[in-house]
Every structure is written in C-alpha cells, then in structure tokens.
Amino acid sequence: MSNKTLRIIFILSVVCAILTIATQFFLIKKAYELEKTTFNTHVTIALKNVAVHLLKMNNNFSQVDSIVSQVEDNFYTVRVNDKIDSTVLETLLKRELNTQQIKIDFEILVYDCESENVKFRKYISLNKTEENSDIIPAKFPKNLKENNYFAVHFPHLDTFLNKEMITWGFSSLVLFLFLVILAYAIFTIFRQKRLSEIQKDFVNNMTHEFKTPLATIKISSEVLKNPNIINNPERLLNYATIISNETEHLTHQVERVLQMAKSGRDVISLNKEWVELQPMLEEIIDKTYKPLIRSRGGDIKVQMLCNSIHFEVDKLHLKNVIGNLLDNAVKYCKNKPSILITCNEEKDIISISIKDNGIGISKENLPHVFDRFYRIPTGNLHDVKGFGLGLNYVRLICKQHGGDIKVSSEVEKGSEFCIFIPKKFKR
Ligand code: ADP
C-alpha cells in the first residue's frame, strides 16, 4: 500500500469518525428533546382528564381547553376555577398519570386564590418511604391569581429522562468501542507499514554490504585462475591477500548480523571478567582505528581522567561496543575525523565518552537512533553502509551490564556518545 493511499485512508477515517460522533451527539440531543415532548404530552393529557373529572363532579361543564400550562419543564398548573377536593385530586392524579405511563414521584399543590396561600401540599412517592420528603416546590406564578388552581411538580424529572436515555448511552458506548478498535487498526497498519519499510531497507543495505566484497573476491579469483600467475608470486600473494581480507570482512559482517539477530531476543549471556580499561582501549585503537583515521588525515586521542580504571565486564562485548561507536564516529564524518575518547571513574561508575566532529544528528532523529534497524533517512542515497543495528546493540550491552548510554549531538558540529558501566557487575 502506497503512502498516499494510507494517508487518504487515515484522513477519511478521521473525517468519518468526527462525523459519526457529531451525528451521535445530534441524535442523542434530538432523542432527549423527544423524550421531554412525549412526557409533556402525556402529563398534559393526564392533567386535562383530572380537570374534566373534577369539574364534572362539581357539575361544571365549562370548556377545559388550555387550562393546563407548563410553567417550567417540571412544573404544571391547572386552572380549575372551582372547588378542589384534595383527596379526590390525589386519587385522580395517581390514576391518570399511571394510565399515561408517567411512573415518577410528584408533588401536588393546591392554591387558594382568596387567601393567596398554598392550602394543600403533598409529595407522592412511588416508593412509599419517601412520602414525606421535603422537596422545594417551584414558585406559584402570580399571573394565575384570579383562578382557583392546582399544580403538579415533578422534582425528579431529569433523573427520569436520563433513565429513559439508557439505550442511547449503550449505543454511544458501542460506538466509542468501535472507534477505539478502528483507531487501533489504523495504528497497526501504520506500524506494519513502517516495519515493512525497515525490513526493505535492511535487505537493501545487506545486499549493498555483501555485493562489494563478493565482487572483489570474484575478480581476484578470476585472476588466480590464470595459470601464468604462478610465474608472478608477488601478484599471486596480492590477490590471495585480497581474497583473504574480503572473506574476513564478510565473516565479520555475517557475525555482526548474527549478533544483532541474537540481540533481538533482548538477553545476551555475558562472560564477566576484571578488565583494565586503558590497555583494552589501546588494543582496539592501535590495531584498527589509528591506521584507518590516519589514512583519512584525522586523529584520535584518549584522555584518562583517572589512573588505572578496572571494571568487571564482558571484554568481547565491550570491545564490540567501543568498536561500534568508533566505527560510527569515522563513518559519519565527511571531513578529517577528529575523535576524543574521555574515560573517567566516579562513584563506582565508569564512563567512556566518544566525541566526534562528524555530521551530527538532528533533534528529531536523536530519540530514534537506538531503535532496532533505525537509520537516519537520507533519501535513496546509501553512501554510508550499515544495518541500523549497531547502536541498538550498544545500548543493549550497556543495559545488560547494568549501565546506560547517553547521546548529545549538533548537526554539522559532531556527536558525543557516553556509556556508563558500573565498576562491579551487580548479580
Ligand atoms: P548503522 O549501521 O546505520 O550505522 P547504527 O545503529 O550504528 O546503525 O546507527 C543508527 C543511525 O544513527 C545511523 O544510521 C546514523 O544515521 C546515526 N549515527 C550513529 N552514530 C552517528 C554519529 N557518530 N554521527 C552521526 N550520526 C550517527
């Protein structure tokens, strides 16, 4: 799948998710309003029926249209303009509200226009124990003063409506879960894509790394096939040395890849021994790096801030670690390499810092350099060979020793990698 298709899928998914969430909110709002309207309609019908019954009992057959008004969401007044028997009113209200499926606590208030007082007030609870609870009623509206009327107050209307919305809550939860799964699926696609790119890069790099020595070996062996070469022992030795060196180089590369593959399992068994740092460093530098750096007109210096540093480490792995860091310091330097190694011992922690004057690493790439297979993107230009495994191995070995590695770098100025290893290995 191309990057463009992936980007389109991602954008479309985000847009769809936003639209789905917005639609869900809109539907929930609409459903809530509908619940409220339905409640209002049922209550109005029930109250109208109550009023009709009350008037009929008083032999009053006047019009009952628009005698019910909703003063607030949960407060209704009914203008009866006639005598109101509170006991009859209570019975009628219970019956009519029940018929309309309004199963919720309510409060009855009967207003006496003569005395301008509430002459009867009762809280009716579906749960009998709450019969006397003192719920603050809504205020009686003054403009209805000229008529005798009663009012019904539903103090728990919000709770009732919220309960009615439970199915919507459940559907929102399902939608939310679906969106989380979708986000996870997209994240997995991106991760897989990155992994497959890394894998492709790795195969490319490996092919590059093996191609050159193999080509050299092939050419040299072609030369050796010539029977006349026997007459020229110097040339013969030369080509045999080339083959031997390239084979060694290839073996070293294969060894490195195998080592990295092993490091992927995140545990390496260490053979600890007491080692003196300075001679080990000199051995690595003098044998390989001094000649290499000198051939490029550069220099390498070692600065010991403490005399005779000894520590308990796996010598072979630690040599590989230092070798990897020095390899990088030389590889990622376009000018004459100038490398400074500083060693110190403080509070039983040995630090080895390798500072170069190379191309440096930008801030956004710096946190990733220790990731497996990570190579700083250089477009399609593979001028510096590598597998993106070296620093990952270096960090693993440091951690296995109970230590750590830190890096600081500035583009075009250089980088400094500093490893910290405890003097004594903690078992
Ligand atoms: P590689 O085999 O590619 O060198 P590493 O794991 O050793 O793999 O390094 C990861 C990446 O970090 C490299 O591809 C390189 O871009 C960057 N890097 C490592 N060391 C240095 C350095 N001393 N200077 C600049 N860049 C570096």
- Of 106 and 256, the one with more pLDDT: 106
State the residue for tokens 């297979």.
373
CA of 203 to the centre of ligand 1 (A): 17
What is the C-alpha to C-alpha distance for residues 110 and 261, in angstroms, rounded to an integer? 86
In this predicted structure, what is the pLDDT of residue 426? Answer: 72
Decide if pLDDT at 319 tops 70: yes
| Tokens describing residue 6 | 């992936």
Looking at ligand 1, which residue's alpha carbon is closest to its atom 23? Answer: 329
CA of 388 to the centre of ligand 1 (A): 7
Looking at ligand 1, which residue's alpha carbon is closest to its atom 7? Answer: 390
Contact 148, 82 (CB under 8 A): yes
Contact 339, 355 (CB under 8 A): yes
State the residue for tokens 């639209």.
19
Looking at ligand 1, which residue's alpha carbon is closest to its atom 13? Answer: 375
What is the C-alpha to C-alpha distance for residues 80 and 140, in angstroms, rounded to an integer? 15
In this predicted structure, what is the pLDDT of residue 263? Answer: 59
CA of 420 to the centre of ligand 1 (A): 19
Contact 245, 252 (CB under 8 A): no
The average confidence (pLDDT) of the chain is 84
What is the C-alpha to C-alpha distance for residues 187 and 190, in angstroms, rounded to an integer? 5
Q: Which of 56-65, 356-365, 396-405 has the lowest mean pLDDT?
A: 56-65
For the stretch 187-201, pLDDT in tens is: 998 888 878 877 777
Looking at ligand 1, which residue's alpha carbon is closest to its atom 8? Answer: 388
What is the C-alpha to C-alpha distance for residues 17 and 20, in angstroms, rounded to an integer? 5
What is the C-alpha to C-alpha distance for residues 303 and 324, in angstroms, rounded to an integer? 19
For range 341-351, the mean pLDDT: 93
CA of 357 to the centre of ligand 1 (A): 14
Contact 40, 70 (CB under 8 A): yes
HSE (CB half, 13 Å, CA atoms) of 111? 24
Angle at 411 between CA 302 and CA 300, to 5 degrees: 15
Residue from 202, 208, 260, 328 whose mutation best tests the ligand 1 pocket (most atoms within 8 A of CB):
328
- Of 50 and 63, the one with more pLDDT: 50
Looking at ligand 1, which residue's alpha carbon is closest to its atom 21? Answer: 328
CA of 190 to the centre of ligand 1 (A): 24
Looking at ligand 1, which residue's alpha carbon is closest to its atom 19? Answer: 328
List C-alpha distances in Å: 324 to 49, 197, 356, 395, 416: 92, 24, 13, 11, 13
CA of 404 to the centre of ligand 1 (A): 17
Looking at ligand 1, which residue's alpha carbon is closest to its atom 12? Answer: 369
Locate the ligand 1 atom nearest the alpha carbon of residue 374 and give its number: 10
Phi, psi (degrees; rounded to nearest 5) at 86: -60, -35
Decide if pLDDT at 366 tops 70: yes
| Beta sheet of 349-355, edge-to-edge order | 299-304, 338-346, 349-355, 414-422, 404-410
CA of 235 to the centre of ligand 1 (A): 38
Percent of the chain topping pLDDT 90? 36
Phi, psi (degrees; rounded to nearest 5) at 238: -60, -50
Q: Could you tell me where the beta strands, DSSP code E, fall in 46-168?
A: 68-72, 75-79, 106-112, 117-124, 149-153
Query: Of 6, 4, 17, 3, whose CA–CA distance to 182 is shortest?
Result: 17
Query: Ligand 1: residues within 6 Å at CB?
Result: 328-329, 332, 356, 358-361, 369, 374-376, 386-392, 415
Contact 178, 16 (CB under 8 A): no
Mutual angle of helices 3-57 and 157-164, in 10-degree steps: 130
Contact 353, 322 (CB under 8 A): no
For range 136-147, the mean pLDDT: 48
Looking at ligand 1, which residue's alpha carbon is closest to its atom 25? Answer: 360
For range 356-368, the mean pLDDT: 91
Is 86 buried (19+), middle (13-18) or exposed (0-12) by CB count in 10 A? middle
